[in-house]
Structure 1
Amino acid sequence: MRARRIMTNLRVADIEAAKEFYTGFLGLSTEEFNLGWVARYSSPGGGANVQLVTGDATAPEDSVISVQTDDVDGAYEEAQRLGYEIVHPLTTEPWGVRRFFVRDPDGNVLNIVGHSD
Protein backbone atom coordinates (compact mmCIF):
# COMPACT_ATOMS: atom_id res chain seq x y z
CA MET A 1 0.00 0.00 0.00
CA ARG A 2 1.15 3.53 -0.69
CA ALA A 3 -0.10 6.40 1.49
CA ARG A 4 -0.95 9.57 -0.44
CA ARG A 5 -1.99 11.67 2.54
CA ILE A 6 -2.18 11.13 6.30
CA MET A 7 -4.47 13.23 8.49
CA THR A 8 -4.78 13.34 12.26
CA ASN A 9 -8.25 12.51 13.59
CA LEU A 10 -8.63 14.52 16.77
CA ARG A 11 -11.45 13.57 19.14
CA VAL A 12 -13.54 16.58 20.18
CA ALA A 13 -16.80 16.88 22.11
CA ASP A 14 -18.35 19.41 19.71
CA ILE A 15 -17.02 20.35 16.27
CA GLU A 16 -18.59 23.80 16.19
CA ALA A 17 -17.20 24.63 19.64
CA ALA A 18 -13.70 23.46 18.62
CA LYS A 19 -13.81 25.10 15.18
CA GLU A 20 -12.88 28.61 16.38
CA PHE A 21 -9.69 27.39 18.04
CA TYR A 22 -8.49 25.53 14.95
CA THR A 23 -9.60 28.12 12.40
CA GLY A 24 -9.11 31.35 14.37
CA PHE A 25 -6.09 30.58 16.53
CA LEU A 26 -4.25 28.04 14.36
CA GLY A 27 -5.30 29.57 11.04
CA LEU A 28 -6.73 26.40 9.50
CA SER A 29 -9.26 28.54 7.67
CA THR A 30 -10.32 26.20 4.88
CA GLU A 31 -13.18 23.88 5.80
CA GLU A 32 -12.73 21.02 3.34
CA PHE A 33 -15.88 19.27 4.54
CA ASN A 34 -18.17 19.05 7.56
CA LEU A 35 -20.51 16.08 8.03
CA GLY A 36 -21.57 17.12 11.53
CA TRP A 37 -19.61 14.31 13.22
CA VAL A 38 -16.34 14.85 11.31
CA ALA A 39 -14.89 17.98 9.71
CA ARG A 40 -11.54 18.74 8.08
CA TYR A 41 -9.82 22.11 8.39
CA SER A 42 -6.70 23.03 6.42
CA SER A 43 -4.29 25.90 6.08
CA PRO A 44 -4.84 28.03 2.97
CA GLY A 45 -1.91 26.34 1.20
CA GLY A 46 -3.00 22.89 2.32
CA GLY A 47 0.25 22.06 4.11
CA ALA A 48 -1.38 21.64 7.52
CA ASN A 49 -4.69 20.00 8.38
CA VAL A 50 -6.68 18.28 11.09
CA GLN A 51 -9.88 16.29 11.15
CA LEU A 52 -12.12 16.91 14.15
CA VAL A 53 -14.25 13.90 15.08
CA THR A 54 -17.02 13.59 17.67
CA GLY A 55 -17.55 9.87 16.97
CA ASP A 56 -17.52 7.85 13.77
CA ALA A 57 -20.96 7.56 12.18
CA THR A 58 -20.63 3.98 10.89
CA ALA A 59 -17.58 2.30 12.45
CA PRO A 60 -17.51 0.58 15.84
CA GLU A 61 -14.42 2.53 16.98
CA ASP A 62 -12.87 5.89 16.22
CA SER A 63 -9.61 6.05 14.29
CA VAL A 64 -6.58 8.10 15.27
CA ILE A 65 -5.50 8.88 11.72
CA SER A 66 -6.92 8.67 8.22
CA VAL A 67 -4.63 7.38 5.49
CA GLN A 68 -5.64 8.17 1.94
CA THR A 69 -4.53 5.73 -0.74
CA ASP A 70 -5.15 5.32 -4.46
CA ASP A 71 -5.89 1.59 -4.07
CA VAL A 72 -8.05 1.00 -1.00
CA ASP A 73 -9.18 -2.41 -2.29
CA GLY A 74 -5.58 -3.54 -2.68
CA ALA A 75 -4.72 -2.16 0.77
CA TYR A 76 -7.62 -4.12 2.26
CA GLU A 77 -6.44 -7.34 0.63
CA GLU A 78 -2.89 -6.71 1.82
CA ALA A 79 -4.01 -6.03 5.42
CA GLN A 80 -5.97 -9.29 5.41
CA ARG A 81 -3.09 -11.24 3.87
CA LEU A 82 -0.73 -9.89 6.54
CA GLY A 83 -3.16 -10.91 9.29
CA TYR A 84 -3.94 -7.44 10.67
CA GLU A 85 -7.17 -7.03 12.59
CA ILE A 86 -9.88 -5.43 10.48
CA VAL A 87 -11.98 -3.25 12.81
CA HIS A 88 -14.44 -2.00 10.16
CA PRO A 89 -14.81 -3.93 6.87
CA LEU A 90 -14.21 -2.42 3.45
CA THR A 91 -17.28 -0.26 2.88
CA THR A 92 -18.47 2.35 0.40
CA GLU A 93 -19.90 4.98 2.72
CA PRO A 94 -22.97 7.13 1.95
CA TRP A 95 -20.77 10.27 1.77
CA GLY A 96 -18.81 8.81 -1.15
CA VAL A 97 -15.58 7.33 0.23
CA ARG A 98 -14.52 3.70 0.26
CA ARG A 99 -12.71 2.74 3.46
CA PHE A 100 -11.86 0.21 6.12
CA PHE A 101 -10.37 0.39 9.62
CA VAL A 102 -7.34 -1.66 10.63
CA ARG A 103 -5.62 -1.99 14.01
CA ASP A 104 -1.85 -1.51 14.12
CA PRO A 105 0.37 -3.72 16.32
CA ASP A 106 0.13 -1.19 19.20
CA GLY A 107 -3.67 -1.08 19.14
CA ASN A 108 -4.14 2.19 17.22
CA VAL A 109 -7.06 2.16 14.78
CA LEU A 110 -6.35 3.59 11.32
CA ASN A 111 -8.96 4.64 8.76
CA ILE A 112 -7.67 3.58 5.33
CA VAL A 113 -9.64 5.53 2.75
CA GLY A 114 -9.95 5.92 -0.99
CA HIS A 115 -11.59 8.98 -2.51
CA SER A 116 -13.23 8.99 -5.89
CA ASP A 117 -11.55 12.30 -6.84
Structure 2
Amino acid sequence: MRVVGITPNLPVADVEQAGFWRDFVGLCEQEFSLGWVARYTDPATGLHVQLVTADATAPEDSALTVKTDDVDAAYAEARAAGYEIVHPLTTEPWGVRRFFVRAPDGTVVNVAQHSG
Protein backbone atom coordinates (compact mmCIF):
# COMPACT_ATOMS: atom_id res chain seq x y z
CA MET A 1 0.00 0.00 0.00
CA ARG A 2 1.26 3.48 -0.85
CA VAL A 3 0.47 5.91 1.99
CA VAL A 4 -0.18 9.53 0.98
CA GLY A 5 -1.26 10.86 4.38
CA ILE A 6 -2.07 9.94 7.98
CA THR A 7 -4.60 11.69 10.22
CA PRO A 8 -5.12 10.97 13.92
CA ASN A 9 -8.78 10.47 14.90
CA LEU A 10 -9.41 11.73 18.42
CA PRO A 11 -12.51 10.52 20.30
CA VAL A 12 -14.60 13.41 21.62
CA ALA A 13 -18.10 13.88 23.02
CA ASP A 14 -18.91 16.79 20.65
CA VAL A 15 -16.94 17.77 17.53
CA GLU A 16 -18.16 21.35 17.82
CA GLN A 17 -16.38 21.75 21.19
CA ALA A 18 -12.96 22.18 19.55
CA GLY A 19 -11.82 25.23 21.52
CA PHE A 20 -8.64 23.59 22.82
CA TRP A 21 -7.54 22.47 19.36
CA ARG A 22 -8.53 25.77 17.73
CA ASP A 23 -7.53 28.32 20.37
CA PHE A 24 -4.59 26.71 22.18
CA VAL A 25 -3.03 24.36 19.58
CA GLY A 26 -3.75 26.73 16.68
CA LEU A 27 -5.68 24.37 14.43
CA CYS A 28 -7.98 27.23 13.50
CA GLU A 29 -9.30 26.12 10.11
CA GLN A 30 -12.26 23.73 10.19
CA GLU A 31 -11.84 21.90 6.88
CA PHE A 32 -15.14 20.09 7.23
CA SER A 33 -17.70 18.86 9.72
CA LEU A 34 -20.23 16.10 9.19
CA GLY A 35 -21.65 16.46 12.69
CA TRP A 36 -19.94 13.30 13.94
CA VAL A 37 -16.46 14.06 12.53
CA ALA A 38 -14.63 17.34 11.94
CA ARG A 39 -11.08 18.10 10.79
CA TYR A 40 -9.19 21.06 12.25
CA THR A 41 -6.03 22.25 10.49
CA ASP A 42 -3.23 24.76 10.89
CA PRO A 43 -3.51 26.73 7.62
CA ALA A 44 0.21 27.54 7.59
CA THR A 45 1.51 23.98 8.00
CA GLY A 46 -1.39 21.74 7.01
CA LEU A 47 -0.99 19.76 10.24
CA HIS A 48 -4.35 18.51 11.47
CA VAL A 49 -6.47 16.26 13.66
CA GLN A 50 -9.92 14.80 13.20
CA LEU A 51 -12.35 14.87 16.09
CA VAL A 52 -14.79 11.94 16.06
CA THR A 53 -17.84 11.28 18.25
CA ALA A 54 -18.86 7.95 16.67
CA ASP A 55 -18.40 6.76 13.11
CA ALA A 56 -21.56 7.14 11.03
CA THR A 57 -21.37 3.77 9.24
CA ALA A 58 -18.65 1.60 10.78
CA PRO A 59 -19.26 -0.65 13.79
CA GLU A 60 -16.19 0.71 15.61
CA ASP A 61 -14.28 3.98 15.65
CA SER A 62 -10.80 4.13 14.16
CA ALA A 63 -7.68 5.46 15.88
CA LEU A 64 -6.31 6.97 12.70
CA THR A 65 -6.98 7.38 9.02
CA VAL A 66 -4.36 6.20 6.54
CA LYS A 67 -4.90 7.80 3.15
CA THR A 68 -3.84 5.85 0.08
CA ASP A 69 -4.00 6.39 -3.65
CA ASP A 70 -5.40 2.88 -4.32
CA VAL A 71 -7.79 1.71 -1.61
CA ASP A 72 -8.96 -1.28 -3.67
CA ALA A 73 -5.41 -2.64 -3.84
CA ALA A 74 -4.91 -1.94 -0.12
CA TYR A 75 -8.12 -3.83 0.67
CA ALA A 76 -6.98 -6.83 -1.40
CA GLU A 77 -3.59 -6.72 0.34
CA ALA A 78 -5.16 -6.62 3.83
CA ARG A 79 -7.46 -9.54 3.01
CA ALA A 80 -4.61 -11.59 1.50
CA ALA A 81 -2.57 -11.00 4.66
CA GLY A 82 -5.46 -12.30 6.77
CA TYR A 83 -6.06 -9.10 8.74
CA GLU A 84 -9.48 -8.65 10.29
CA ILE A 85 -11.69 -6.36 8.23
CA VAL A 86 -13.78 -4.35 10.70
CA HIS A 87 -15.74 -2.39 8.05
CA PRO A 88 -15.87 -3.63 4.44
CA LEU A 89 -14.67 -1.65 1.44
CA THR A 90 -17.40 0.94 0.93
CA THR A 91 -17.96 4.14 -1.01
CA GLU A 92 -19.51 6.34 1.65
CA PRO A 93 -22.27 8.89 0.96
CA TRP A 94 -19.80 11.74 1.68
CA GLY A 95 -17.55 10.61 -1.19
CA VAL A 96 -14.76 8.68 0.55
CA ARG A 97 -13.98 5.08 -0.44
CA ARG A 98 -12.67 3.25 2.62
CA PHE A 99 -12.45 0.17 4.81
CA PHE A 100 -11.43 -0.45 8.42
CA VAL A 101 -8.79 -3.04 9.30
CA ARG A 102 -7.61 -4.18 12.73
CA ALA A 103 -3.83 -4.17 13.22
CA PRO A 104 -2.38 -7.14 15.15
CA ASP A 105 -2.09 -4.92 18.26
CA GLY A 106 -5.85 -4.23 18.13
CA THR A 107 -5.71 -0.71 16.67
CA VAL A 108 -8.53 -0.05 14.22
CA VAL A 109 -7.29 1.78 11.12
CA ASN A 110 -9.49 3.59 8.60
CA VAL A 111 -7.85 3.12 5.17
CA ALA A 112 -9.30 5.71 2.81
CA GLN A 113 -9.07 7.16 -0.66
CA HIS A 114 -10.57 10.56 -1.29
CA SER A 115 -11.98 11.28 -4.73
CA GLY A 116 -10.62 14.14 -6.75
Q: TM-score range by the shorter chain?
A: over 0.9
Alpha-carbon distance in 2 for matches of 1:106, 1:50: 22
What is the aligned residue count?
A: 116
Which residue of structure 2 aligns with residue 109 of structure 1? 108
Q: For residue 16 of structure 1, give the secondary structure of its aligned residue in structure 2.
A: coil
Q: Establish whether residue 29 from structure 1 lines up as the match of residue 33 from structure 2.
A: no
Structure 1, unpaired ranges of 5+: none
- RMSD (Å), alpha carbons: 0.8
Using the alignment, how far apart are the partners of 2:45 and 2:85 within structure 1?
30
Matched, 1:57 2:56: yes
Matched residue of 1:50: which SS?
Answer: strand
**Deviation of the 1:21 alpha carbon:** 1.0
Report % sequence identity.
65
Aligned twin of 1:3? 3
2:38 is equivalent to residue 42 of structure 1: no
TM-score by length of 2: 0.97
The TM-score, its normalising length taken from structure 1, stands at 0.96
> The residue matched to 2:115 in structure 1 has which SS?
coil
Q: Secondary structure at the match of 1:41?
A: strand
Give the Cα–Cα distance (whole angstroms) in 1 for the partners of residues 15 and 109 of structure 2.
Answer: 20
Q: Deviation per CA, 1:52-110, whole angstroms, max 9, x where unpaired?
A: 00000000000000000000000000000010000000000000000000000000000
2:85 is aligned to 86
Higher helix fraction (1 or 2): 1
